[in-house]
Amino acid sequence: MHAMNAAASPLPLPGTVNPADGSPLEPVPATPAAEIRAIVARARAAQPAWAALPLAERIAKAELLARRILERRAEVLALMSRETGRSETECLMSELTALLSMVRGHVRVAKSALAPEKVKLSPLEFPGKKAWIEAVPRGVVAIIAPWNYPLGNFMKSLFPALLAGNAVVLKPSEHTPRTGAWLASLCAELFPSGLVGLVQGEGAAGAALLESEIDAVVFTGSVPSGRKVAQKASEKLIPCSVELGGKDAAIVLADCDLDRTVVGIANWAIHNCGQNCAAIERVYVESSIADAFVERLTRVVAKLRVAPSEGPTELGPLQNAAQLRIVEEHVADALAQGAKLCTGGKRTGSGFGYAPTVLDGCTEAMRVVSEETFGPVIAVLRVKDADEAVRRANDSRYGLNGSVWTRDIARGTELARRLEVGVSLVNNHAITGTMAELPWTGTRETGFGVAMSRHAYSTFVRRRAVFVDRSNDPDAWWFPADENLRPFGEAVVEMSLGSKAAMFRVLGLLKKRVRAIRALAKG
């Protein structure tokens, strides 16, 4: 199928064409609902033995999985390249190079997030007692993923879920089912039978997975689907982490290092053809340098090459025809409303390729500024100063990453912290997406989910408070209510207000109260 026909003809079924050239891919059948229930049941059966292993053994298995993925990378790169249209080099760079260091980070986080926490109790108030908090795996965690990073979207949650002692059911996107299936089959080789399950299919399969006996869900995807998932999870009273769309802004100040800034912004806007939840889609540039910035950014972006092509390429095509349509609609709407096309603005190749695009003179009235584009399009908005930039950057339905580009690090940090986003950066963007120690999170319609860091663990474990009383005496406030109870209570209050004398009164009354309580028991 030629891309020129994509907008006019009905869209191909998800995941059935190679986005690079439109050649057909063998369809991957959806998992029937009854089979989904059985997959979850097998995961549930496998989970207790997995959770009972010492953490060190789960760590060893998790590290082995990461190593095997890398050792067998040729297999997955070929699959991923076919279903995303990206070159194998791009897939390698964006999904595998940081994997092992990320997994080591997951291990460090797991050790602290899963360690029992001692709670200090005052020996005077709570004699002979001790308490601690421990992490208990949820059970079966469903991980529902989108298509933009067919492997990476699983990596951020699969490792902490398993390290925490859970079973996992993976639900890849219907657009990229093969990479997910490869990952699940590798897990089946390394982990106990049934521990990592796989569900294929469109939204209906994801919905059926949510209907099954799962204990938690990590959802990454669009806002409309995320709302449905959050509603279903709240109905079932199970924890849910939703990581949804973005419309990230970069703020370019007049004192920035222009060369570094234009390449950094081009990179984080066009990386993965802009199909990155934290892609820079809006650039607010101070008007005093706007002409120079746009001119250099245009020069850089015009040089970027779309796969498939002879020699190296910086980006692949859009992954699917529906996404290509959105990109074309956003660019057409911007041009109709007076934006200037600096470069790009047209399809490339015979698949879903689209030339990296810079639009100058954009405004909030344009869809390319107000809606997620998820494509290789940079909307430039000129602003008077940094305050205006921050105000307009914050005027968004989303809030994932936000960055400020400047040589003045202190001012940049202060401005970045005023951005209403989950990840604030200075002179970089989206780079923390593979850093396991940092929370990947957002505001507003980006959703309340937290991926990675110890803050993600509320999805993967519940906390159990354990309290052990080794005291031989009954507690002094137990029944009966005798003549010493009120003086005892008064002394406790005064002691808590800081009276030393009251402390001695408490000690004296304690003994009398304990005698009275024991007498009550004896009858």
Active site residues: 243, 277
Give Cα 196 to chain centroid, integer Å. 20
| Three-state DSSP state, 17 | strand
Does 83 sit near ligand NAD (CB under 6 A)? no
Does 167 sit near ligand NAD (CB under 6 A)? no
The vertex-250 CA angle with 409 and 257, nearest 5°, equals 50
Closest CA relative to residue 241, chosen from 172, 156, 165, 179: 156
Q: How far is 441 from 449, CA to CA, in rounded Å?
A: 6
Q: How far is 295 from 342, CA to CA, in rounded Å?
A: 8
Burial class (CB in 10 A: 0-12, 13-18, 19+), 146: buried
Residues in 223-242 at the binding interface with ligand NAD, rule: CB under 6 A: 225, 228-229
Residues in 434-453 at the binding interface with ligand NAD, rule: CB under 6 A: 440, 446
Does 145 sit near ligand NAD (CB under 6 A)? yes
Applying CB under 6 A, which of residues 77, 144, 218, 379 lies at the interface with ligand NAD?
144
Binding mask 330-369 for ligand NAD (x = CB under 6 A): ----------------------------------------
One-letter amino acid at 148 equals N
Q: How far is 328 from 170, CA to CA, in rounded Å?
A: 32
Contact 281, 379 (CB under 8 A): yes
Q: Which two tokens stand for residue 186?
A: 């590798």
User: Minimum distance from CB of 180 to ligand NAD (Å)?
Assistant: 9
Applying CB under 6 A, which of residues 79, 143, 155, 277 lies at the interface with ligand NAD?
277
Closest CA relative to residue 392, chosen from 372, 414, 415, 410: 415
Please, which residues bridge with residue 381 across strands? 284
Looking at 124-132, 222-230, 262-270, 473-481, which segment touches ligand NAD (CB under 6 A)?
222-230
Looking at 104-112, 143-151, 266-274, 475-483, which segment touches ligand NAD (CB under 6 A)?
143-151
Q: Looking at 24-166, which runs of residues are DSSP E strands? A: 117-119, 129-137, 140-144
Looking at 170-178, 346-354, 456-464, 497-505, which segment touches ligand NAD (CB under 6 A)?
170-178
Q: How far is 393 from 284, CA to CA, in rounded Å?
A: 7
From residue 372, how far is each of 226, 388, 401 by CA, in Å?
Answer: 15, 21, 13
Looking at 41-49, 52-60, 82-90, 244-252, which segment touches ligand NAD (CB under 6 A)?
244-252
Q: Which two tokens stand for residue 98?
A: 């940081």
Does 268 sit near ligand NAD (CB under 6 A)? no
Binding mask 40-79 for ligand NAD (x = CB under 6 A): ----------------------------------------
Looking at 53-61, 183-191, 218-226, 308-316, which segment touches ligand NAD (CB under 6 A)?
218-226
**Among all residues, whose Cβ is closest to ligand NAD?**
206
Comparison of 50 and 352: residue with beta carbon closer to ligand NAD: 352
Does 222 sit near ligand NAD (CB under 6 A)? yes
Q: How far is 331 from 367, CA to CA, in rounded Å?
A: 8
Binding mask 172-201 for ligand NAD (x = CB under 6 A): -xx---------------------------
Binding site for ligand NAD (CB under 6 A): 144-148, 153, 171, 173-174, 202-203, 206-207, 210, 220-222, 225, 228-229, 243-246, 277, 372, 374, 400, 440, 446
